[in-house]
Amino acid sequence: MYKKVMQQLLFELMKGSKRSDRELAKVLGVSQPTVTRVRKKLEDTAIAEYTIIPNWSALGFELMVVTFVNIRGESKSRGEQKKTLEKCKKWMMDHPNIIFASDGTGIGMDGMMVSLHKDYTDYSKFITEHRVEWADTLGEVKSFIVSIKGGEILKPFSLKYLQSLLTLAK
């Protein structure tokens, strides 16, 4: 029972974390103290942070860009690799328009980042700075540009869709 309440509460919080424990208790059919206790456990184990998903275009952003990068094939010592990785993390954190970045594999690329830009000029300055800063480290850099102001959004970004995915994973 407890595990089922945890899963249901997590789904409800993904749909909207702004709701009170009392309201969530009514939806789940359990007591408010149970919701409070389960929420605390989720916050300690499964919830990284509470946040909102803004309407980016209403805030003045026109573009969301997914940029894929390929690291040059040069062999570096472990120490040099670690130093480059720390420099990269710092550079990413110093650019608040980068909302996600990670290493990975596929399409011949080693890493990717997702960034938001006010317009194409803003993006162009950003990607030029990126290429100049990382010229010695990166090989190929490819970007996929999405118009979030005038493009056709087929499915808006939201975590509420994850409920059915997580249910299938069980």
pLDDT digits (tens, 9 = 90+) for 63-118: 999 999 998 766 678 888 888 889 999 999 999 999 999 999 999 999 999 999 99
CATH code assigned to 2-52: 1.10.10.10
Could you tell me the fold of the domain covering 56-147?
Answer: Alpha-Beta Plaits (3.30.70)
Radius of gyration over every alpha carbon of the chain, rounded to an integer in angstroms: 21
Checking if the pLDDT of 168 tops 60, the result is no
Name the pLDDT band for 53 (thresholds 50, 70, 90): confident
The larger pLDDT score, comparing residue 42 to residue 157, is at: 42
Q: Which of 97, 130, 134 is nearest to 116 (CA)?
A: 97
Contact 60, 118 (CB under 8 A): yes
Checking if the pLDDT of 132 tops 70, the result is yes
Name the pLDDT band for 37 (thresholds 50, 70, 90): very high
Where are the domains positioned within the chain?
Answer: 2-52, 56-147
